Structure 1
């Protein structure tokens, strides 16, 4: 009877059902509701509209001001004030003020708020990041966030799934970012529309937790409802460090689970990959890339601002200087990551190489601040979206890449692979 995918099993449990199938409408209990400084004020005003004064559980809501924080302007200051006052009124346990904050999708796992088997919604499309830990997590609109904060429940249409079977091991200088860009290039930005992207195979174990966070983060860029990884010993080690006292439940897909399609990927065949403007599906490897001079490099975001990303970039920048006419902006994803980078000398490497280091923020990823592009400028970025005007002027260009490619490109002044700089 069962025939359920990993995501379907989690949703069934949270809906109080023995079985769910693709397309079924369910109401599920929520373990965490997330909002940021852009989406939370809209949700808060919605709650006021339907006369909901309180929240369902002050411990199961996370409010993370991270998009325009520290405040960029008066409007962003007012938004943050709204969130701050709501958090105080409702005694929200997990409100992260400036100084404690970080980019939400790096901060919540680091803080131990996301664990396997959870159902998590967030009013931010990259909430699917937590699938790296074996949770069902997905982005929603601010109205759904308001309903979630009020009732602790959300409606879902149970998604069907695509199964990716990973085998082999990635070559040097190839990372989770290259894998997910390769996948989006293969299936397209609508290739997994409202489907779970479920990863299996012995190749999963070759991926670090940071690789998995990066891959799950960008499931939405293939149209996915969520991305999800099985729980293995690497997941459990991560949880021991970050969520030692939190209980969780591990779910596994049934052997006869139904998938819309199954795709095998040999990780050893992957190459450094760059997504050209203006869609993440425009993936190219270096045998297809002409010489493209660049103006700016951004290393950071909820996709690639973790400590392993900063280490990878610093390794390439060590003892070198960025090309004349290039701006390098490095943004650690959380305060903890910033401190670790400081202790390891990575910050010094970035500054000595001619870069700047910012406080944790989404900043330039959505054209917010800390690196907005002018007309005609080209940027190599470790972020997750390269839509028209995403980082500034509508005729600017964003090339999505790994931290290794971004760092190498900063050194040469053109889109470059790491081997051009290091070897």
Structure 2
């Protein structure tokens, strides 16, 4: 009797210990890759409350989560092809740096079963399936208070295209997608709906680091970065004698550059340029007469939404300046295409700054058709809305009922969009 009791107690103790174990990213090996794996997806949630022990989200009952807070920003990290089956080497740093930089819901999308295979085409086929599964989770989050505006997807290689497929399912209303060297093979010649595209989110930024091999060469995002021309990264092996690093080093560099950008003491300066050849010829290093802040360390993007009531269609450009309470003013550096303004139709314009202002006291707008002849036109605006895409939790700023005279800068004090419409001054 005593032996039986001991055996039962031992079984119970082992089971209790196992239940308390933290869910982990699926760890496979080359044997799994050779035999192939069936697609399985698990979502591992980390927050500042459970930074060292993930919580596995339940597919059909997301709200059972203890830590998920749908009022906060939700960040998804999606890995790519895993020919050896091991967890990504960068995963721990990604988790720690993202949680250190912001109080968010961080969700690691683990589709290692499905990405681990020697047959790359099998992993490619699984991408849309992963996107469909993610949509099931996100739909539940939206029902319980989450916002597409505050969703941010970071995709690596194939994971970048998965993020794009998810964005397509929500008609590009997801707040932001970052593509870290989006995969080129099987996607290079595909149309926008069959790969990541700049229309898949409100803001899409891309780092291209291996455009001559595993990455995607052409621009895909709202803004595209090509470190060192997008290929042959410093420190990476140049020959096959470098072993496995020869194949993956350039491709992975996009991830490590992104991680570096999350570190407060690591500023990566970029230079706006028509081509890498022009940069190497010294045509893009002056930074507007050597003013340091004119070379972007990071582009801070805002979405400007405008509704006009002109009876006639107007087509032109909007230049934006923002000013803080100390009087510091910065001007948009992104050259957008001409926008067509139609009566009562809301248009969205992406505008970016190479510095950021946390508290905006004034906004200045200038409308221009860039026409050298003819009368000055007016743009009659019913509503203007300015929203930070890098920091979607900030208050959106609005202004109502004002007129922009062509080539005449108008400066005004905005009001939070949550407040009732007030009188203009």
TM interval, short-chain normalised:
under 0.3
| Larger proportion of strand | 2
Larger Rg: 2
| Larger proportion of helix | 1
TM-score, reference length from structure 1: 0.26
Considering Cα pairs closer than 8 Å and 6+ residues apart, tell me whether 1 or 2 has the greater RCO.
1
